Structure 1
Amino acid sequence: MTETTVGLIGIASLFLLMILRTPVAFAMLIVGFFGYGWLEGTRSATALLLTESYSAVSSYSLIVVPMFILLGNVSSVAGYSRGLYDAAFAWVGRFRGGLASASVIGCAAFSAVSGSSVATAVTLGKVALPEMKRMGYADSLATGAIAAGGTLGFLIPPSTGFVLYAILTEESIGRLFMAGILPGLLLMVLFIGVVWLVSYFDPKAGPRGAVVPLRERFRLLAEAGPLLFVIVASIGGIYLGVFSPVEASGIGAGMVLVLAFAQRRLNWHGFKEAVMGTLQTSSMLYMIVIGANNLNPFFSVTHIPQTLGAGLGQLDFGPYGTLTVILLAYVVLGMFMDGLSMLVITIPIVFPVITAMGFDPVWFGVVAVIVIEMGMITPPVGLNVFVVRGVATGVPLTTVFKGVTPFLIAMVVALILIIIFPQIAVFIPNSMFG
């Protein structure tokens, strides 16, 4: 049996284990350990398991994960997310679909402290959905805006997706964080455009809100100021080169803790809740990294990436034709897998192909993350859709999927623009790092 055949069996086994609801981290560990052991011997596989697991969790750059997760959890528990939403609504609520647009803006702002799509959707969903229901918004528009807006948490820095991509590809976390800013803002603007169009053609779906006096708007903006300051300080500090992403994560988490305690928005119970949530999420992500680090050597010895690259080369689709095939495969996989699983399983296979075609690895990171985001709101899995459905009690699942459809179209438009104009993704990191 050839090494490539063993690799294909390993990939099939990996999908089978996930179909059987084995956690993706343990599915990768099992396939990586036994597959590598099959080809290189049990002793080598055991040594690899020990060394790769240790190197994965001892990585200095991985500290950004628990720190930014803590930042997002404290912000949520302390009620800063509500302040972001109220401030956004005060400024855009008077327009068509103002509440839904405010939800998208709130999702984008909260994404800059959470780094998680699901956390963003849940946090803003609990705040915004009851308000939109009270004002008579169509269920499809309300839930669609939250589910789509939540996906920005996977793109706007600090993104856990970019952290994992950087670890898997040995790219700079700082460059990837900066690369996500303009595409994230582009998506936010397109989502707001979708809200406006839906409300324009069906005014009852997104009625206008009351006009908020200018003084009240500035007051609400000032209330959201502490968290906005933390966002600007942490992300801006990375851009200006004042500190690294790891240092930014620690500074951001420390600042929001001090602010929350100083403003008496956080008590011991809330602090404990935020820390426990951070530990649970971080443990899951660390296990995924361990699983990926043990699976990647197995893929390497099976020569699957090289075989895939050679096969695509023989088809002679050219660089952009090959990219299209890879992205279509991502779309299909996104219908059945969650975003992090897709990322850690596919990047080791497709990344060598992408770099061999001459594409910028940082640019491809942005493209891959956007396609993975699309999978978060597409049937039948659509993780964000199910999360929002859980918050929006009484709304049928079909209604939520109907609501996200126009936002999916907006994501396709954003993806096409970034492929045609790669500077949207690489301008900021290139201006920083040269």
Structure 2
Amino acid sequence: MSGLIGLLGIFCLLGLLTLGVPIGAALGFVGLGGLALMISPEAAIIKLGVISFETVSRYELGVLPLFLLMAHLCFAAGASRDFFDAAARFIGHKRGGLALASIGGCAGFGAISGSSLATVATIGSVALPEMRRAGYKPGFAAGALAAGGTLGSLVPPSGALIVFGIIAEQSIGKLFAASIIPGISQALFYMATIAILCAFRPEFGPPAARATWPERRAAFRRIVDVLCLILFVIGGLMIGWFTPTEAASVGVICATLLWIFRGGFTLAGFGEALGSTLRTSGMIYVVVIGAILFAAFISVTGLADQAARVVTDLHASPTLAILAMAVILLVLGSFLDGLALMLLTTPIFLPIAVSLHMSPVWFGIFIVRTMEIGFVHPPLGLNVYVIQGIAKDISLGTIFRGVAPFLVADFLHLGLLIAFPALSLWLPGMTAG
């Protein structure tokens, strides 16, 4: 009976999300209602209060608003387009070079923002006009940017990995370390896709004008300070100089100094960065509280344990079980946004993965990587809609067709991560995080 209540709760959650109810409110409403039904209304309200207090007061959760503030300070310092500009100066003269540069720009900017949507919106607004002026096919250019934007969710400091670490009670430092090789290999898969497409269809990405070496050096100098900031903060976290919260705090101080050094620092601008950080953090805190409440409800129903027992009784191999999870995640990703997908499925799938002796750290990379595919997967594909908002004359159908080759690369890359878990687990085993 309790398992049936858990299933009904999941269907209610899916219904609320389909109706457009905000994810945090939907998770909290279903979790609170389910707990009230399973235990008692009074106990459910007490549980809500305890979870809210413990979440807001958790020291580890301070890493999220601090990294967000670091990103906003870097935006204010004018670092948003520099990564694309530097890459375009070096490789823009090659076939598909500006598309390759956009992938590099997305990877670099993702290491600042930690967000897929912020990455595609920022790099897309800079790179798409450049590619169209150079004669790139609109669908190919838009597809490359939509796919490249997903790197923002995986490369550290990833907001999605921070939220997963909090929900799954895993080391954020180890999750960041685990994401580095998958993030690099994902970018390489996208670059290989661009190179292959332009080799067979040169008209997709004609060469742009070759930049002079003084122009290249000037563009590189503009990203040196931000690169040093990223390497110092993330590298210090990886080798154990800082805890995640200390790394984020150091990042905020260094980003402020970078802004002052670059010029243009104002108290009004700093206040605006703080306000943007607080608004985003508040939204994420509500989502996290709702997700923990929903996970508590799922735990009380025993649904996750029952699902794990079913998998165990079937004697399914870990690979077969994870492939089944991937299919479910991809189907749900057709109509759920990435964060909703991760928060809905983690309380159910993580216990199954652990029962099959899979690493929770690897599972975090797997679920975020699968979540990223949802950002470009029809019919939702939030990154596609962001690109279409930047270039309204490019139809959604054209962008989705442009994304199709990159989806093939996504599936191949996901298969590689499933077949070789060491790609995610080698660095965490080598670091102190």
Q: Same fold (TM over 0.5)?
A: yes
1:124 corresponds to 2:136: no
Q: Distance in 2 between matches of 1:197 and 1:70?
A: 39
Gaps of 5+ in 1: none
Q: Distance in 2 between matches of 1:31 and 1:105?
A: 41
1:310 corresponds to 2:309: yes
- Of residues 263-272 and 109-118 in structure 1, the stretch that sits farther from structure 2 once superposed is 263-272
Q: Distance in 1 between matches of 2:73 and 2:432?
A: 32
Q: CA deviation at 1:276?
A: 2.4
1:69 corresponds to 2:86: no
- Secondary structure (helix, strand or coil) at the match of 2:81 reads helix
4+ long deviations beyond 6 Å: none
Normalised by the size of structure 1, how large is the TM-score?
0.97
**Residue pairs, 1:2-401, within 5 angstroms:** 2-401=1-400
- Of residues 414-423 and 259-268 in structure 1, the stretch that sits farther from structure 2 once superposed is 259-268
**Letter in structure 2 aligned against 1:233:** F
Q: CA deviation at 1:213?
A: 2.5
Q: Distance in 1 between matches of 2:13 and 2:401?
A: 32
Q: CA deviation at 1:137?
A: 0.9
Structure 1 contact 79–265 (Cα < 8 Å) conserved: no
- Secondary structure (helix, strand or coil) at the match of 1:295 reads helix
Q: Distance in 2 between matches of 1:73 and 1:125?
A: 18
Q: Distance in 2 between matches of 1:70 and 1:403?
A: 34
- Secondary structure (helix, strand or coil) at the match of 1:121 reads helix
Q: Distance in 2 between matches of 1:20 and 1:350?
A: 25
For these two proteins, the number of residue pairs brought into alignment is 433
Q: CA deviation at 1:201?
A: 1.6
Identical columns (%) = 39
Gaps of 5+ in 2: none
**Letter in structure 2 aligned against 1:99:** L
Residue by residue over 1:125-156, the C-alpha shift from the partner in whole angstroms, topping out at 9 and shown as x without a partner, is 11111111111111111111111111011100
Q: Distance in 2 between matches of 1:275 and 1:141?
A: 37
Q: Distance in 2 between matches of 1:350 and 1:322?
A: 10
**Letter in structure 2 aligned against 1:326:** M
**Letter in structure 2 aligned against 1:332:** V
Structure 2 contact 77–262 (Cα < 8 Å) conserved: no
- Of residues 72-81 and 216-225 in structure 1, the stretch that sits farther from structure 2 once superposed is 72-81
- Secondary structure (helix, strand or coil) at the match of 2:204 reads coil
Structure 2 contact 96–205 (Cα < 8 Å) conserved: yes
Q: CA deviation at 1:339?
A: 0.8
Residue by residue over 1:388-418, the C-alpha shift from the partner in whole angstroms, topping out at 9 and shown as x without a partner, is 1111221100111111111111111111212
- Secondary structure (helix, strand or coil) at the match of 2:380 reads coil
Q: Distance in 2 between matches of 1:401 and 1:270?
A: 37
Superposition CA RMSD, Å: 1.4
- Secondary structure (helix, strand or coil) at the match of 2:227 reads helix
Q: Distance in 2 between matches of 1:19 and 1:229?
A: 43
Residue by residue over 1:293-320, the C-alpha shift from the partner in whole angstroms, topping out at 9 and shown as x without a partner, is 1111111110010111122233333211
Q: Distance in 1 between matches of 2:273 and 2:144?
A: 26
Q: Distance in 1 between matches of 2:346 and 2:430?
A: 26
Structure 2 contact 178–362 (Cα < 8 Å) conserved: yes
Q: Distance in 2 between matches of 1:328 and 1:391?
A: 31
Q: Distance in 1 between matches of 2:231 and 2:285?
A: 27
Q: CA deviation at 1:179?
A: 0.5
Q: CA deviation at 1:269?
A: 4.5
Structure 1 contact 138–204 (Cα < 8 Å) conserved: yes
Q: Distance in 2 between matches of 1:268 and 1:388?
A: 32
